[in-house]
Amino acid sequence: MALTLVSSNKCAGGFQKVFEHDSSELKCKMKFAVFIPPKAETEKCAVLYWLSGLTCTEQNFITKAGSQLPAAEHELIIVAPDTSPRGCKLEGEDESWDFGSGAGFYVDATQEPWRTNYRMYSYVTEELPRLINANFPTDPDRMSISGHSMGGHGALICALKNPGKYKARPASEGSVSAFAPICNPIQCPWGQKAFSGYLGNDRSTWEAYDATKLAAAYSGPRLDVLIDQGREDQFLSAGQLLPDNLISVCSKKIPVVFRLHEGYDHSFYFISSFMVDHVAHHAKFLKA
C-alpha cells in the first residue's frame, strides 16, 4: 500500500516522520507518525505503538511527549496513529469533542452511520501493523503498545483482547502501559456516550471493549502493566478513569505497577515527565 511522506525531521539521531495513506479499514485517508531510531539504519527494530487521547491527532504525541530520545537509546521504532477517521462527512461527526472526529475510542463500530468508517480497533491491531512491517525495518515478532486517556483505554484493550500479540517472542511475557487510562468505560460518562453511539444500546456488547471486564476474564500469558496517574487529574476526580476498578480484578497473570503522582494533572506535561520510564518498561520486555 502506497505511503505519502508528509514530513521528515532529524531528531535524536534518527528521524521523526509523518505519512499519509488510504486506509482499507477506515475508508479514508489516515496519517500516522513514525520515529525511526538510528539503529534502524543497520538492524530491524522492535515497535512500540502509541495511542493518543480525545481530540488528539498524530501530532500531539510527537511534539509534546519527549519520546524520541529514549526511543533512540532503547532502539525502538514508535508509531503514533491519528485517533479517528477524518473527513468522512458523517452527520454528527464534528459536533462534539468526545465523540466522532478525534474520538474513535479504538472500537469497531456496529451502528449506523459509524460502522463503515469507525473501525479503529481493527485499524490499530491489524491494518496499521501490516503497513508498518511492510514499509519499515521492523522485527514483526517484537511489538508493544501504550497510550494516554482514551488511548490508554485503547492500549489496554488491544493487549487484553490479543493475548501474546504485544511481546518480544513466542511464549514470552508481554507488556502494555498507559497514562491516566479510561479503565472501565462502561461505567463512566465518556465511555457510555461513545459505546452507545458506536456499539448501540445493548450493554453486553460493550464489555468486549472494556479493560476491566477483559482483565477479569483474561487467561493468556503474563502481561506486565505499567500505569501512571496524576493525583490532580480532574478526570480522575470526575469518575472518568476508574483505575481502582481495573486493579481490583487483575490476577497474577496481569501484574500491575500503578503509580499515583502528587501534583500532576492529565496533560502532556504529566506524560513527558514519565515517558522515559514507559519506554524503558517496554524495552525491558522487547529486548529480552
79-122 confidence digits (pLDDT tens): 999 999 999 999 999 999 999 999 999 999 999 999 999 999 99
Does residue 131 carry a pLDDT above 70? yes
What average pLDDT does the chain have? 96
Q: Cα separation of 129 and 46, whole Å?
A: 12
Q: What is the mean pLDDT of residues 234-240?
A: 98
Q: How confident is the model at residue 170 (pLDDT cuts 50, 70, 90)?
A: low
Q: Cα separation of 33 and 8, whole Å?
A: 10
Per-residue pLDDT tens over the stretch 172-227: 789 999 999 999 999 999 999 999 999 999 999 999 999 999 999 999 999 999 99
Q: List the catalytic residues.
A: 149, 233, 266
Q: How confident is the model at residue 162 (pLDDT cuts 50, 70, 90)?
A: very high
E strands, the chain, in order: 4-11, 14-23, 28-36, 45-51, 76-81, 138-148, 174-179, 223-230, 256-261
Q: Cα separation of 114 and 254, whole Å?
A: 33
Q: What radius of gyration, in Å, describes the C-alpha atoms of the chain?
A: 17
Global pTM value: 0.97
pLDDT at 287: 84
CATH class for the domain made up of 4-287: alpha beta
Q: What is the mean pLDDT of residues 233-242?
A: 98
pLDDT at 1: 66
CB of 20 closer than 8 Å to CB of 3: yes
Q: How confident is the model at residue 251 (pLDDT cuts 50, 70, 90)?
A: confident
pLDDT at 188: 98
Does residue 171 carry a pLDDT above 70? no
Does residue 12 carry a pLDDT above 80? yes
